[in-house]
């Protein structure tokens, strides 16, 4: 793609000045609309060293009110970041609805410079490209505008700029040996950049290649593209999208066949002595394994879902009791905060991912999207239909990163739930555990059952299958969960 | 203090079991009250290696609902953390009101093990102790319960435990050469711990020394202390505190004499040509200096306050235009989010501190406490009275860390404000900038003036003095701010 960029184009001085002024004015006005329409905007800049990313960004953001605009410079990853999936640090920083985020370098550095310099295998590069495309699609499907600029200059121009920087004692420190080496090997980077641009130039997030020899011209093109793209995105927001007719079945992954909830047996039970004996033995084993996970830097993610009063809390407690608190976190997932609501729905789970070697237990999970959010209308039908595929993609990233991902549905029947609700209601120290909402949800049991069956059907992948925990007898369910966790870890080691 | 701990005490097996059961039950019930009364609880564990912190914490937190309890393990500081003041990573993690935070090691590691191993000077240790005491007092004054446990064992017992861990192939990796060395030099650490305990045993956050040879006894003592302290704190919340009679003048710092607002001249102005010439020159100079700051790793914090429509936005823009976006952030401070409201008020500023070598510009600041929060009754009189001292302490930490701290009050008179309000009202593209609240605030001008004068009087310290920017002529004000920033940086270099 780079060979189609005309680097010799120049802006006419006279015209440029007034044109620039006009664009600047429009940019500063359009931010109010972005805010009003809650359009999230991601503007990323990649390109050659010394192509002018820094000053381009500096100028661009002066048109925006800092209350709605943030710049993120993606320097080399920190300790924290290296212990998470590659895209974690970018997910973490996605803007809120109505905000503009400008990125100085982005996820693309992981498949361009990193590719040349770390000698990544072709397979790794392709996998990263795949992950990036999914990431961008999930954002744009959620209504984000993703604007990608590549600032292009020739080898000769780059050398000239490095020379100039080095000639000035105030800026000489900015040119490093790495810069010089990159200029000498310009051709290698060119090939890497070109392929990256080709492979990631998607309709939902196309690249804009900016000839950057003439700085004024570059600025005009960037400003113009930003403006027209924002206008287009704002216009599109006004167009209602038709709701899908039936559930959009995720296509990309191999699904494991799951039973219907109605067919799951619930009559298994354990006596107190057997339970205590098994519990003690399994907890000791899990405790040992936790040490190994820590040393081998294997992350474990356990998601708990289930009927109200199915016994999630007590089950989690028995698992947690076997773990070293320095190496695990329990994340209770309640209704989203205003800030969480102002991001793509997976954001609040991305930001809670464990470090490698750590265990994260989620008490309710990202599956809220296809259960409560589906049933209560907290998201559009398109959104929850799309979610099956998005969630599978999310879990795929986690397992490819190396995580063990376990998902439990804690199952009881309606009679058992009623018994437990009534018991809570009648026991003063348990009353806080039961709310009107629980009773309301109970009335929707058949609707929930349908949603759960869909969820089990469409998101039980071979890399992250669902497990139905028979929690009618709580003791049996706890032992079952512990056994499943232990066996998943053992089969990995 | 450590010599008063009776390490030979033992729990009676029989009694202990039932006592423990009772305490566990009470702990699990009291969390509801903590939540209801919005009591934030910090429980930190320090002590000897192998004294049992890990298992103590593991057991303790099983009594709590994870929805209201978090464990933080304070491992060695990360890159991010090392580039901030020492207490930053602890401030960042303080719990929300109504939440429990359990700390495995804490800020005390920076004055105990770090002291012995990094060979800190006496002066540094005393300064850190001072900072810690301020930190804890600011928390407890805000209503936090801070519980500090030190788990004590003898040199011999410690060696025995290391031997035992090393004898088991599952746990041998947990004993490091550092552990062994620390055991050999037990006496050095003993002295450091003892002095630390002595110096930081304050009435508002006393130490609880726990004899930890007998694990059951240790647990009983910890549980018992946690319970009684929480009960006491809950009871205290119910007792209303008398409002202070007059402004509590901060005593600890040297204050710079400031003029009354009414005496500040506002007739300075700049012609367009002179302004443009100066602006260009000063921005070029600031741009150079930004490079130097970056290389020298000096952080700069600039706080903007001022009357509505005094020109903060435009002033900030002229400063920002001279800076490299990779090295600065503008933080617009609006009304606090629910999460921010659920923390001590300085928390949202602590979490926004720049990395060393970076510039943070605050568009409105922590001084909201003694202006809008004072006047609108968003905090108690005690709280804003206390704030003068707390804010000086905060800024002292920043300057001791190495930051250049600049505070600007952008001043205009009432007539000028009216002109600008009217102009905004009459210009379509500016209407979003003016709200009913602005008009309401304007009516309270005399009250604000009094608050501003108090603020200038009590928080203009010799390390972080206020500067009154004459913004009646916006151009003059911008040049003034740039000159002040440049001169502050130059006098540091």
DSSP string, A381-419: HHHHHHHHHHHHHHHHHHHHHT-EEEEEEEE--HHHHHH
Residues A389 and A275 in one domain: yes
What's the pLDDT score for residue A485? Answer: 98
What's the pLDDT score for residue B201? Answer: 96
Q: Do A313 and B65 touch (CB under 8 A)?
A: yes
* Domain, as residue range, for A226: 2-237
Residues B315 and B183 in one domain: no
Task: Return the CATH number at B32.
Answer: 3.40.50.300
How close, in Å, is residue B60 to chain A by CA atoms? 10
End-to-end CA distance of chain B: 45
User: Of A321-325, B227-231, B251-255, which has the strongest mean pLDDT?
Assistant: B227-231
Of B78, B316, B324, the CB nearest to A58: B324
Spatial separation of the C-alpha atoms in residues A174 and A197, rounded to whole Å:
27
Mutate to test the interface with A, among B326, B352, B356, B364 (most CBs of A within 10 A): B326
pLDDT above 90 (res B341) = yes
Spatial separation of the C-alpha atoms in residues B357 and B329, rounded to whole Å:
12
Residues B228 and B309 in one domain: no
Q: Do A78 and B73 touch (CB under 8 A)?
A: no
pLDDT in tens, A193-211: 999 999 999 999 999 999 9
What's the pLDDT score for residue A252? Answer: 83
Of A71, A332, A432, the CB nearest to B66: A332
Element (H, E) at B232: helix B215-237
Spatial separation of the C-alpha atoms in residues A479 and A241, rounded to whole Å:
47
Burial-class residue B317 by CB neighbours within 10 Å (0-12, 13-18, 19+).
middle
Q: Which of A204, A237, A270 is the last residue of a domain?
A: A237
Residues of A in Cβ contact (< 8 Å) with B80:
78-80
Q: Do B326 and A71 touch (CB under 8 A)?
A: yes
Report residue B29's pLDDT band, with 50, 70 and 90 as the boundaries: very high
The single residue listed with the structure tokens 């540094």 is B124
* CB B489 within 8 Å of CB B289: yes
Coil, strand or helix: which one is A465? coil
Q: Do A329 and B71 touch (CB under 8 A)?
A: yes
Spatial separation of the C-alpha atoms in residues B56 and A394, rounded to whole Å:
36
How close, in Å, is residue B95 to chain A by CA atoms? 15
Q: Do A326 and B104 touch (CB under 8 A)?
A: yes
Torsion of CA B203, B207, B211, B214, to 10 degrees: 110
Report which DSSP code applies to A353. P
What's the pLDDT score for residue A8? Answer: 84
Any A CB within 8 A of B81 CB: no
**Residue B352 belongs to a domain:** yes
Any B CB within 8 A of A102 CB: yes
Residues A68 and A25 in one domain: yes
pLDDT above 90 (res B172) = no
pLDDT above 80 (res B232) = yes
pLDDT in tens, B110-125: 898 888 898 889 899 9
For A:170-229, CB contacts with B below 8 A are 170-171, 173-174
How close, in Å, is residue B93 to chain A by CA atoms? 14
Report which DSSP code applies to A255. B
What's the pLDDT score for residue A78? Answer: 86
Closest residue in A to B431 (Cα) is A32
Q: Can you give the pLDDT of all 493 residues of chain A as single tens digits? A: 888 888 888 878 888 889 999 999 999 999 999 999 999 999 999 999 999 999 999 999 999 988 899 999 888 888 889 999 999 999 999 999 999 999 999 999 989 888 889 888 989 999 999 999 999 999 999 999 999 999 999 999 999 999 999 998 878 888 999 999 999 999 999 999 999 999 999 999 999 999 999 999 999 999 999 999 999 999 998 887 777 777 777 778 999 999 999 999 999 999 999 999 999 999 999 999 999 999 999 999 999 999 999 999 999 999 999 999 889 999 999 999 999 999 999 999 999 999 999 999 999 999 999 999 999 999 999 999 999 999 999 999 999 999 999 999 999 999 999 999 999 999 887 888 888 989 999 999 999 999 999 999 999 999 999 999 999 999 999 999 999 999 999 999 9
Residues A432 and A294 in one domain: yes
Residues B167 and B216 in one domain: yes
Q: Higher model confidence: residue A241 or residue B49?
A: B49
Q: Do A325 and B58 touch (CB under 8 A)?
A: yes
Residues of A in Cβ contact (< 8 Å) with B102:
325
Helix ranges, A37-82 (H): 53-61, 79-82
> What residues have CB less than 8 Å from B294, skipping those under 6 apart?
B324, B327, B357, B358
Any B CB within 8 A of A373 CB: no
Spatial separation of the C-alpha atoms in residues B36 and A129, rounded to whole Å:
49
Residues A266 and A183 in one domain: no
Of B32, B61, B291, the CB nearest to A432: B32
Q: Do A67 and B102 touch (CB under 8 A)?
A: no
Interval B124-132 mean pLDDT: 94
Angle, helices B436-443/B414-426, rounded to nearest 10 degrees = 160
Residues of B in Cβ contact (< 8 Å) with A72:
none
Residues A265 and A374 in one domain: yes
Any A CB within 8 A of B490 CB: no
Residues A334 and A467 in one domain: yes
Report which DSSP code applies to A461. B
Element (H, E) at A335: none
Q: Do A65 and B313 touch (CB under 8 A)?
A: yes
pLDDT above 90 (res B241) = no
Mutate to test the interface with A, among B37, B66, B339, B424 (most CBs of A within 10 A): B66
Spatial CA neighbour of A480 closest among A315, A347, A234: A315
How close, in Å, is residue B339 to chain A by CA atoms? 9
What's the pLDDT score for residue A30? Answer: 95
Q: How much of chain B, in percent, has pLDDT values that exceed 70?
A: 100
Q: What is the phi/psi pair of residue A394, to 5°?
A: -60, -50
Closest residue in A to B315 (Cα) is A62
pTM, two decimals, is 0.88
For A107-134, give the DSSP string: GGGGGTHHHHHHT--HHHHHHHHHHHHH
Least confident of A405-419, B55-69, B198-212, B342-356: B55-69
Of A320, A325, A337, the CB nearest to B54: A325
Q: Do A173 and B291 touch (CB under 8 A)?
A: yes
Any A CB within 8 A of B428 CB: no
Q: Do B173 and A323 touch (CB under 8 A)?
A: no
**Residue B245 belongs to a domain:** no
Q: Do A337 and B334 touch (CB under 8 A)?
A: no
Spatial separation of the C-alpha atoms in residues A371 and B309, rounded to whole Å:
48
Q: How many domains does chain A have?
A: 2
Report residue B180's pLDDT band, with 50, 70 and 90 as the boundaries: very high
Helix ranges, A119-214 (H): 122-141, 155-167, 177-184, 186-199
**Residue B248 belongs to a domain:** no
How close, in Å, is residue A257 to chain B by CA atoms? 33
Spatial CA neighbour of A107 closest among A60, A44, A54: A44
**Residue A255 belongs to a domain:** no
What's the pLDDT score for residue B112? Answer: 87
**Residue B249 belongs to a domain:** no
**Residue B196 belongs to a domain:** yes
Closest residue in B to A77 (Cα) is B79
pLDDT in tens, B439-492: 999 999 999 999 999 999 999 999 999 999 999 999 999 999 999 999 999 999
**Residue A242 belongs to a domain:** no
Question: Taking the CB of residue B254, how many other CB atoms lie within 10 A of it?
Answer: 8
* CB B376 within 8 Å of CB B318: no
Burial-class residue B147 by CB neighbours within 10 Å (0-12, 13-18, 19+).
buried
pLDDT above 80 (res B101) = yes
**Residue B13 belongs to a domain:** yes
Q: Do B29 and A429 touch (CB under 8 A)?
A: yes
Of A57, A325, A332, the CB nearest to B325: A57
Residues of A in Cβ contact (< 8 Å) with B32:
432
Residues A354 and A413 in one domain: yes
Residues of A in Cβ contact (< 8 Å) with B82:
none
Residues B465 and B339 in one domain: yes
| Residues linked to residue B469 through DSSP beta bridges, in sequence order | B410
Q: Higher model confidence: residue B141 or residue A238?
A: B141
Mutate to test the interface with B, among A32, A44, A66 (most CBs of B within 10 A): A66
Interval B68-84 mean pLDDT: 89
Q: State the count of interchain CB pairs (< 8 A) between A and B.
A: 97
Residues of B in Cβ contact (< 8 Å) with A70:
329
Mutate to test the interface with B, among A29, A31, A58, A304 (most CBs of B within 10 A): A58
Of A67, A288, A325, the CB nearest to B61: A325
What's the pLDDT score for residue A432? Answer: 83
Residues A335 and A368 in one domain: yes
pLDDT above 80 (res B251) = no
Q: Which of B205, B237, B269 is the last residue of a domain?
A: B237
Closest residue in B to A57 (Cα) is B325
Q: Do B170 and A288 touch (CB under 8 A)?
A: yes
Q: What is the phi/psi pair of residue A214, to 5°?
A: -95, 110
Residues of A in Cβ contact (< 8 Å) with B57:
325
Closest residue in B to A65 (Cα) is B313
* CB A289 within 8 Å of CB A357: no
Spatial separation of the C-alpha atoms in residues B374 and B385, rounded to whole Å:
9
């Amino acid at each position: 793609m780079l060979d189609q960029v005309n680097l010799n184009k120049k802006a006419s001085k006279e015209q440029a000045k007034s044109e620039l002024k006009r664009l600047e004015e429009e940019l500063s006005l359009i931010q109010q609309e972005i805010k009003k329409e809650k359009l999230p905007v991601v503007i990323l800049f990649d390109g050659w060293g010394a192509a002018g990313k820094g000053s381009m960004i500096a100028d661009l953001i002066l048109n925006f009110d800092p209350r709605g605009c943030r710049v993120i410079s993606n320097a080399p990853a920190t300790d924290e970041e290296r212990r998470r999936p590659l895209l974690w640090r970018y997910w973490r920083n996605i803007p809120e609805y109505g905000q503009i985020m400008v990125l100085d370098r982005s996820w693309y550095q992981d498949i361009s410079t990193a590719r040349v310099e770390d000698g990544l295998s072709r397979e790794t590069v392709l996998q990263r490209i795949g992950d990036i495309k999914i990431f961008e699609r999930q954002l744009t499907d959620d209504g984000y505008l993703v604007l990608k600029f590549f600032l292009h200059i020739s080898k000769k121009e780059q050398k000239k700029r490095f020379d100039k920087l080095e000639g000035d004692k105030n800026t000489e420190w900015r040119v490093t040996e790495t810069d010089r080496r990159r200029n000498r090997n310009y051709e290698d980077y060119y090939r890497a950049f070109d392929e990256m641009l080709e492979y990631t130039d998607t309709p939902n997030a196309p690249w804009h290649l900016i000839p950057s020899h003439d700085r004024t011209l570059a600025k005009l093109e960037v400003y113009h593209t930003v403006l027209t793209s924002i206008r287009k995105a704002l216009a599109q927001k006004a167009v209602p999208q038709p709701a899908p007719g039936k559930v959009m079945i995720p296509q990309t992954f191999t699904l494991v066949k799951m039973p219907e909830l109605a067919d799951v047996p619930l009559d298994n039970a354990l006596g107190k002595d057997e339970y205590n004996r098994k519990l003690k033995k399994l907890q000791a084993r899990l405790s040992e394994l936790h040490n190994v996970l820590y040393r081998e830097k294997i992350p474990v993610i356990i998601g708990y879902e289930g009927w109200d009063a199915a016994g999630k809390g007590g089950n989690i407690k028995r698992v947690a009791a076997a773990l070293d608190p320095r190496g695990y976190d329990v994340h209770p997932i309640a209704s989203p905060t205003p800030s969480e609501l102002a991001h793509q729905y997976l954001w609040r789970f991305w930001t809670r991912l464990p470090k490698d070697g750590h265990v994260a237990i989620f008490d309710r999970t990202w599956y809220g999207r296809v259960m409560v959010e589906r049933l209560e209308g907290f998201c559009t039908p398109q959104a929850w239909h799309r979610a099956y595929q998005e969630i599978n993609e999310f879990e795929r990233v986690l397992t490819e990163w190396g995580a063990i991902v376990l998902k439990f549905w804690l199952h009881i029947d309606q009679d058992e739930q009623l018994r437990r609700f009534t018991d809570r209601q009648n026991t003063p120290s348990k009353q806080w555990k039961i709310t009107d909402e629980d009773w309301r949800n109970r009335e929707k049991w058949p609707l929930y059952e349908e949603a759960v069956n869909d969820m089990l059907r469409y998101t039980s992948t071979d890399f992250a299958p669902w497990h139905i925990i028979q929690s009618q007898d709580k003791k049996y369910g706890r032992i079952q969960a512990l056994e499943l966790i232990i066996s998943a870890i053992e089969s990995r080691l």
